Amino acid sequence: MHTLSVKEMSEKLRNKEITSVALTQHYLDRIDQYDGELNAYVTVTPELAMEMARQADQMIAEGKGGLLTGIPVAHKDIFCTLDVKTTCGSKMLDNFIAPYDAKVVEASRALGMPILGKTNMDEFAMGSSSESSYYGATKNPWDLKAVPGGSSGGSAAVIAAGLAPLATGSDTGGSIRQPASFCGITGIKPTYGAVSRYGMIAYASSFDQGGPMTRSAEESAWLLDVMAGFDERDSTSLEQPKQDYVSALSNDIKGLKVGVPAEYFEEGLDDGVATTVRAAIAELEKLGAEIVEVSLPNKDLAVPAYYVLAPAEASSNLSRFDGVRYGYRCENPTDLNDLYTRSRSEGFGAEVKRRIMVGAYALSAGYYDAYYLKAQKLRRMVRDDFVNAFEQCDVIVGPVAPTPAFNIGEKSDDPVSMYLADLYTIPVNLAGMPAMSVPAGFSNGRPVGLHLVGPYHSEAKLLNVAHQYQQVTNWHQKMPESYQ
């Protein structure tokens, strides 16, 4: 059943050829069989999943629900899930049982989508490899020696290995798109504010954005339709009519102007990745798209600006984890200062502590203007580059990451090298624009994604371009042999 597309699953459920109970049990059995080696789930919820599957079957029998009713989903462990352990990949939240649902979880639950479990991730979404998790590194289903990307590496791995048909992720600096590229799946980061952040544990609030991770663009459109929409509980949620992501999929892309920035193909880009991306661009041209050269001159300013701004926001957001209200508390504190110091020192991992320290420094008196304020100005320059480029084209394409998936441990001791893995994805987060990764081929046996970037509120257009590309290629249908 895991080889069926979500569309085929949905049709079989509606036609009573399969039940949600049988479909959900099939995925739970696969998780039992394969997740021991992948470590893609932090928590599996079989009782909850089967109860929700029975309810979904009842909804279908009564003619209620929607296209995704009865289709199981895995949620990144950054989304609060009622009465389920929600850890954010950290020892700090190892004992935290969420007392409410995040908006994203609430929406999928209301539609009758059984929750298979919570997927592994870099601690507090800080990382590009899913190695910083308190629960150990997740492995890439295409090559167990490789990382799946991060921070949504668990969600990417469960889709690639067929341990869930649909998954949610979050993207702060590329955390949906880079793992989607590394694992050969489709993932989209919507416009900032399109998906509610209510109940999504904060890393950097002006960057964080939830989104779908699936096999195909069509499935991403279906899941994004569930996830997106205004939510008054999130002050940054966009109050505007929701796009029709699904209807736009079939639109012809003849005459579409596709921008290719020269800066994306400079030194440092893996030859295999460059060849794969250029081949994908040629496919778009065959479909009738017009290729135009554009420029993003401040691309190289994005990573340094991001690694001032995001840690600054993180140092503020993570101050709430103090050992007093919830989360990890050290044993036998001698006084309040000892409680704070040891709870945070013992509860947070190395990468999280590094970013808290960098952020606190950037916000400190005397350095705020020199670092934080300057980084905000650079952020505006990066955004303006995109705005100017979109005056010449409809979408921008390029690589998602400079290389295919690297080996586990390869960059663990070199934070700067790890940070540069997000060279192409971070600028989009600084601008708050939508972007996605689409499977485009392989380099040295490891998947490579094509990066599609659009102007604000162009998710339907991006999904349309991706879907049309997937009509003439089959990279999104490929599965690692071990998991077929």
The helix (H) or strand (E) run that includes residue 312 is helix 302-317
* Tokens 């440092």, located at residue: 268
- Residues 448, 441: contact at Cβ < 8 Å? yes
Are the CB atoms for 211 and 168 separated by under 8 Å? yes
Virtual CA dihedral for 469, 472, 474, 476, nearest 10 degrees? 20
**What are the beta bridge partners of residue 407?**
146
Asked whether 57 and 39 are in contact (CB, 8 A), the reply is no
Q: What is the DSSP letter of 11?
A: H
Q: Minimal CA–CA distance to 428: which of 452, 403, 460? A: 452
Residue type, 4: L
Q: Indicate which residue of 128, 133, 175, 458 is catalytic.
A: 175
Tokens 């309810």 sit at which residue?
Answer: 55
Query: Can you tell me the distance from the alpha carbon of 299 to that of 124, in angstroms, rounded to the nearest whole number?
Result: 26
CB neighbours of residue 47 within 10 Å: 8
Query: Rounded to whole angstroms, what are the CA distances from 142 to 285, 476, 478, 482?
Result: 29, 13, 10, 8
| Of the candidates 141, 119, 125, 40, the residue with the CA atom closest to the CA atom of residue 75 | 119
Catalytic residue (one of 151, 181, 412, 458): 151
Quick check: helix, strand or coil at residue 292?
strand
Q: What angle do CA 116, 117, 123 make, to 5 degrees?
A: 155
Residues comprising the chain, all counted: 484
Name the residue type at position 148: P
Find residue 258's DSSP bridge partners: 291, 395
**Does the annotation count 175 as an active-site position?**
yes
Catalytic residue of the set 10, 76, 128, 129: 76
Burial of 295 per CB tally in 10 Å (0-12, 13-18, 19+)? middle
285: phi then psi, degrees, rounded to nearest 5 = -65, -40
- Main-chain phi, psi angles of 358, to 5 degrees: -60, -45
Peptide bond into 319 cis (omega under 30): no
- Closest by Cα among 1, 49, 29, 35 to 154: 35
Just list the catalytic residues. 76, 151, 175
